[in-house]
Amino acid sequence: MALAAPVAADTDVLGLVSGTRGLGLRLRAEPGVGQYVLAVMPEGASVKVAESTADAGGSEWRQVSYGDVTGWVSSRYLATVTPIPTAEATRQPEATIAPTPGLQATASTPQDQADASSAGGTPVPEAGSEDRPAPSGREGRPESGSTQAIVDVALSLVGEAYSMGAAGPNAFDCAGLVYYVYAQQGIELERDAASQWQQGTPVERGDLRPGDLVFFRNTYIWGISHVGVYIGDGQFVNAVDEWTGVIISGLDESFWNEHYAGARRILP
């Protein structure tokens, strides 16, 4: 189904990014998930709302201006307020701009990124990593069979659902994912991230190799609170939340870089 014709707003409207659970909202060049990302707007950011349209799946998108950048966002994560306040009241910090056409932008704010809807209209936040290319192996392509198997199992779970307390086979929380991946190789780990942090041997960030566990602190509770499986090239597989599921993320993404705690090596 083709995109619906845009419908202009009757009056100027101020919109607020809302309901992203702190993940932020992607501003896209065209309406629809998968379109080029122009900027990432944090929760609570105010925007000037213009016309609306629907994507191929019938989900509503709104054209908005954020600072000097104009693009499209899903209306599901946009609360509107009328009329628009003074220019000074709606002044925004400079948007995070995607550096190269055709590549997804990585947020430089402490939030992950999120889109507001899937083709079917169900909220599916997009964390900005699922469309990363597969690791090229520049830094430490897996060499041993066991390490390769760990990476292969982790990658096979990308796209699975998140569920707090779950450890597979079809849904996972972060530590449950790590537990399940290693269990497939006959290695039994502890079941929570804080305990897994005590297993294996510490690894410097510059010495990471595929199969290592990467840990993060203070992501939603104090202390070690998140873990993933490193797969090379600065990327790791992790179960994020109910809206995101299992994805590939990057250690250089601002949120993960800010909360990085360290790594542990389980395999010899």
259 given a catalytic annotation: no
Q: Which of 170, 218, 238, 257 is catalytic?
A: 238
For 22: left if phi > 0, alpha if psi spans -120 to 50, otherwise beta; the answer is left
What CA–CA distance (Å, rounded) separates 185 from 229?
14
Phi, psi of 179 (to 5 degrees): -55, -45
For 180, counting Cβ atoms within 10 Å of its Cβ (0-12 exposed, 13-18 middle, 19+ buried), the class is buried
The whole-angstrom separation of Cα 172 and Cα 191 is 11
From the candidates 170, 218, 226, 259, give the one annotated as an active-site residue: 226
Judge whether 238 counts as a catalytic residue. yes
Q: Which residue among 170, 174, 218, 259 is the active-site one?
A: 174
Q: Is 218 a catalytic residue?
A: no
DSSP-derived letter for residue 206 is G
Calpha distance 268→175 (Å, rounded): 20
User: Contact, 265 vs 207, CB < 8 A?
Assistant: no
* Nearest C-alpha neighbor of 100 from the set 35, 37, 26: 37
Residues known to be catalytic: 174, 226, 238
